[in-house]
Amino acid sequence: MRDDDQTILSTRGLSGVEGTPPDPEKPKRNPLMIAGGIGCALLLCVALLIGGGFYYMGESVNDLTANLLGDEAFAPVEETVPVTEEATATTVPTLEPTPVIEPTTEPTEEATAEPTIEPSPTPRPDPELSEITFALDATETYEPIDPATEFEGEVTEVHAIFEYTGLSPDYTWERVWFLDGQEVLRSKEAWTGADAGVFDYFINAGGEPLSPGEWTLELYVEDELLTTGSFVILEDEATLAAAGTAEAESTTEPTELVEATDEASEHDADLPTVSTATPAPTATPVPQAQTYQLAYTKWNGVQHNLYVGDTDGSTEQFIIGRAAGPSWTPDGQRIFFFGETGVDRQTVEGVEYVFDGISNGIVAVNVSPLPESVGEVQLFQGLDWKDAGARWANVSPNGQMVAFDSKRSGNYRIYFLGTQDNEQFRYEIIGEQADWSPDSQKIVYRSGRDGTTGIWISNRDDSGHTLITNGGSDSFPAWSPDGETIAFSRDEEGNTDIYTVNIDGSNLQRLTDAPGPDTLPTYTPDGQIIFRSARTGNWGIWKMNGDGADQTEIIPDANVGVDWTFSRMSVLP
């Protein structure tokens, strides 16, 4: 065995290697010190175990809480700073309503204040008119020249000058002229002048002398008489003698009375007055101006809208939309019309009105009194009136029947129904555009029956046919109130004009020859003709005498649809 070979056993053993010197003598160990060291070691182990347990439990709680609340709940402190800032930025919009309240509260205060404050300092002014001054002429500044209350000789024009205050377009004003106590002229319209100033209002007879006698002018605002004045036209002896001779021999024709102003908007009215001869105590009363109610439509590019106005153009009242071809009942209680698709649902200023049970076809609307809004409209429709192909509803003068067109069999035919529900008439006439005779026994209409297109007259039971014109374009016939004349429109060389013919086909007369179409005539009870014309480049409603004289536009901007038939008009008898 080499000297460096050795076997190490437990420190507690003895070396058995031969030749090894004996171990030195070890010192004795203190038992108390050994026990204290062991105790400290045990305490240290216990402390480590407890600390490790707390750490492990803390990590477990953190993991559990993170799972429940999300990772952000236990993010590092430095990472929570942007999260906190983001939450603040997000809440800023939720706090912005506080400053936003300021602009919303300001209009609220203004809206509340306006109804209570504004009307008080600016109430609707009370109109005032001064005394009327009469003169034969006036300066450019409306100063009367040689004012007087009596004028002698042939007077062709008289100026009525007055001052006014407190007027506005919200008011309507009315002028009424009297001659020797008899009304000869009445005009009413919306005020179009300034709020205050001087008004030069004059009257003439189209260059002819005004009738002698006492003339009185009454001026109304909102139907209240505000001022009145009078003047007298005297005749010299020569004129009196001539007038006496003329009166003994014959009756002179009436002259036209015209009113006008020097304002920017001039108002004219053509109306008859007495003859220029001095009226005897037993003379015929002065003819009075006649104004009638007119039912008509305006086409807006989508639908026909129904209106009622006066034949002098002074008033206009919207009744209802989607209503075409109106016709009055003779008692003025209703207007019959063709209800277009959607007539049962009316939308006005964003408000929808629904008329249950009404559909397109023949419909009647109550117009006595005139409804002031769609909310006041009352519609009526019989069970047999719901004909979607109908048009041109025309009530008979006796108020018992309605004649209308329809394409039930492919071509237009004229059918009849009663003005009361469940009344039916089995008459059927080949044709269209029927108008009634004054006695309600016959109709005049357009037809191509018997191979000839023109204007025909038949009994209402389709007997007694008479052809009175044979023009292929002749259309829209209207029967005169005296029963003797038919007015109609005819296309000659591309221009449509209005003609008249006697009921026996004689005495054909052309009444209009203006460029642009003149069509759809209808008579007033006194024999004037109301018609539609586009002679100015725009469709409007015009009137003229029965012989074609004095053609005057009364309602501008009254458009006509593609099918003129739906734009017929009706005058209240």
Whole-angstrom Cα distance, residue 337 to residue 436? 16
Considering the domain architecture, whether residues 407 and 529 belong to the same structural domain is answered as yes
Per the domain annotation, does 207 fall within a domain? yes
Q: How much is the pLDDT for 122?
A: 56
Considering the domain architecture, whether residues 238 and 385 belong to the same structural domain is answered as no
Number of domains making up the chain = 2
Counting DSSP H helices and E strands in the chain, the numbers are 4, 39
Tell me how crowded residue 310 is: count the other CB atoms within 10 A of its CB. 17
CA distances, 368 to each of 279, 331, 377, 572 (Å): 40, 9, 10, 12
Which CATH number do you get for residue 190? Answer: 2.60.40.2550
Domain boundary among 272, 304, 334: 272
Per the domain annotation, does 19 fall within a domain? no
Domain boundary among 217, 240, 272: 272
Q: How much is the pLDDT for 383?
A: 79
Considering the domain architecture, whether residues 402 and 485 belong to the same structural domain is answered as yes
Per the domain annotation, does 73 fall within a domain? no
Closest CA to 191 of 107, 102, 93, 314: 314
Considering the domain architecture, whether residues 521 and 566 belong to the same structural domain is answered as yes
pTM: 0.53
Closest CA to 459 of 445, 449, 477, 472: 445
E strand map for 379-503:
379-380, 391-395, 401-406, 413-418, 424-430, 432-436, 442-447, 454-459, 466-469, 475-479, 485-492, 495-502
Considering the domain architecture, whether residues 415 and 499 belong to the same structural domain is answered as yes
Tell me how crowded residue 345 is: count the other CB atoms within 10 A of its CB. 13
Torsion 536-539-541-547 (CA) sign? positive
Considering the domain architecture, whether residues 336 and 459 belong to the same structural domain is answered as yes
Considering the domain architecture, whether residues 490 and 545 belong to the same structural domain is answered as yes
Q: How much is the pLDDT for 566?
A: 92
Considering the domain architecture, whether residues 297 and 222 belong to the same structural domain is answered as no
Whole-angstrom Cα distance, residue 494 to residue 456? 23
Considering the domain architecture, whether residues 248 and 368 belong to the same structural domain is answered as no
Considering the domain architecture, whether residues 198 and 243 belong to the same structural domain is answered as yes
Per the domain annotation, does 146 fall within a domain? yes
Per the domain annotation, does 15 fall within a domain? no
Give the range of the structural domain holding residue 248, as residue numbers without chain letter.
128-272
Which CATH number do you get for residue 323? Answer: 2.120.10.30
**DSSP reduced 3-state for 430:** strand
Per the domain annotation, does 102 fall within a domain? no
Per the domain annotation, does 488 fall within a domain? yes
Domain boundary among 272, 302, 326: 272
Considering the domain architecture, whether residues 243 and 391 belong to the same structural domain is answered as no
**pLDDT per position in the chain (573 positions), as tens?**
444 444 333 333 333 434 444 444 445 555 666 666 676 667 766 666 666 665 556 555 455 444 544 444 444 444 443 433 333 333 334 444 433 434 433 333 333 233 334 444 556 678 999 999 999 988 878 889 999 999 988 888 899 999 999 988 888 888 888 888 877 777 777 787 788 989 888 776 655 688 888 999 999 998 899 999 999 999 766 555 554 544 444 333 444 454 555 443 333 333 333 333 334 444 444 455 589 999 999 999 999 999 999 999 999 999 999 999 999 999 999 999 999 999 999 988 888 899 998 999 999 999 999 998 998 999 999 877 888 888 889 999 999 999 999 988 778 899 998 887 556 677 789 999 999 999 999 999 999 999 999 999 999 889 999 999 998 999 999 999 999 999 999 999 889 999 999 999 999 999 999 989 999 999 999 999 999 999 999 999 999 999 999 999 999 999 999 899 999 999 998
Whole-angstrom Cα distance, residue 47 to residue 43? 6
Per the domain annotation, does 332 fall within a domain? yes
Considering the domain architecture, whether residues 240 and 338 belong to the same structural domain is answered as no
Beta bridge mates, 435: 444
Beta bridge mates, 486: 479, 501
